[in-house]
């Protein structure tokens, strides 16, 4: 990153932090993305200019590998503006898709671009992440939790909180699939994104729920610039 750009990012963060001394980091992410959208700059993953990196049906395709059924309750944790959700919503029975994200604005954008007939027929549930939402989801026993292109946006000191919410929603028999860019050691990719080593999952999980097991798979094969596109497979026995 160029020096000037780096300096601007640092000033932006600390200016925001001074204005919001008690706010969690996640609100800074929201602030940055909303500023981009309101400034007329498109965002690659959120809003009208969002495009999938690979396929629009990637979430559904991965869940099918784990034998998802239309009657399963699926949580899309960090669903953004539903970029990858429509094929999954169409597959699931009404009310079985539950998207969660940091900001109501992102969810509203998603709903405004969803086919109205699909929205009417399948009644996707959309909520801003909050402790009571996590508890409500846990009480309903989701069979799957997917979190795609989200983990990379989580800084080191918020990883426990992020993974903690996912693990909290898991009940016996549930499976969580978490995409992350994988490197040998934690590496900053952009101002708002990091690649992490898989060991972070292995070290963190016992603190959250020692019963939950963890394996890893490849979203795509191969390594580019030292980065793998991996996903963690968490299982609650």
Ligand X SMILES: C[S@@+](CC[C@H](N)C(=O)[O-])C[C@H]1O[C@@H](n2cnc3c(N)ncnc32)[C@H](O)[C@@H]1O
User: Which positions lie near ligand X, rule CB under 6 A?
Assistant: 26, 29, 45-46, 78-80, 83-84, 101-102, 106, 129, 148-150, 153-154, 158, 162
CB closer to ligand X, 88 vs 212:
88
Query: Of 117 and 157, which has the nearer Cβ to ligand X?
Result: 157
Least distance from C-beta 237 to ligand X, angstroms?
25
Q: What is the closest distance, in whole angstroms, from the C-beta atom of residue 29 to ligand X in the complex? A: 5
Residue labelled with tokens 């693990």:
167
Candidates 93, 99, 102, 94; CA nearest to 111 is 99
For residue 202, the Cα-to-chain-centroid distance in whole angstroms is: 19
User: How far is Cα 30 from Cα 129, in angstroms, rounded to an integer?
Assistant: 13
**Which CB, 145 or 175, lies closer to ligand X?**
145
Cβ atoms 109, 103 nearer than 8 A: no
Nearest-approach distance from CB 102 to ligand X, in angstroms: 4
Shortest distance (Å) from residue 106 CB to ligand X: 5
E strands along the chain, which residues? 74-77, 97-101, 125-128, 144-147, 175-182, 187-190, 193-195, 213-224, 227-235
137-163: buried (b, 16+ CB within 10 Å) or exposed (e) per residue? Answer: bbeeebbbbbbbbbbbbbbeeebeebb
Which residue has the closest beta carbon to ligand X? Answer: 80
- Residue 42 or 173: the one with the smaller Cβ distance to ligand X is 42
- At residue 84's C-alpha, the angle toward residues 68 and 43, to 5°, is 160
**Min dist. Cβ of residue 83 to ligand X (A):** 3
Specify the residue, 152 or 173, whose C-beta has the smaller distance to ligand X: 152
d(CA 12, CA 64): 42
Which residue bears the tokens 């990379």?
Answer: 152
Report d(CA 109, CA 18) in Å as an integer. 29
Nearer residue to ligand X within complex by CB, 113 or 158 = 158
Compute the least distance from the CB of residue 154 to ligand X, in Å.
Answer: 5
């Amino acid at each position: 990153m160029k020096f000037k750009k780096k300096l601007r990012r640092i000033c932006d963060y600390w200016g925001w932090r001074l204005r919001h001394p008690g706010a969690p980091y996640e609100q800074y992410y929201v602030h940055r993305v909303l500023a981009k959208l309101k400034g007329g700059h498109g965002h690659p993953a959120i809003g009208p200019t969002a495009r999938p990196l690979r396929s629009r049906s990637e979430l559904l395709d991965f869940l099918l590998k784990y034998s998802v059924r239309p009657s399963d309750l699926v949580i899309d944790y960090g669903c953004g503006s539903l970029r990858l959700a429509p094929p999954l919503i169409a597959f699931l029975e009404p009310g079985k898709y539950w998207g969660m994200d940091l900001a109501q604005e992102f969810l509203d954008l998603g709903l405004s671009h969803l086919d109205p007939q699909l929205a009417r027929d399948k009644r996707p549930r959309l909520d801003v992440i909050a402790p009571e939402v996590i508890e409500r989801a846990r009480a309903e026993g989701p069979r799957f939790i997917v979190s795609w292109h989200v983990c990379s946006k989580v800084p080191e000191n918020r990883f426990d909180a992020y993974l903690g919410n996912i693990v909290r929603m898991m009940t016996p028999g549930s499976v969580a699939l978490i995409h992350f860019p994988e490197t040998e050691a934690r590496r900053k990719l952009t101002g708002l994104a990091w690649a992490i080593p898989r060991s972070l999952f292995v070290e963190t999980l016992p603190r959250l729920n020692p019963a939950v097991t963890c394996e890893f798979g490849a979203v795509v094969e191969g390594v580019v610039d030292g980065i793998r596109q991996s996903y963690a497979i968490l299982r609650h026995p």
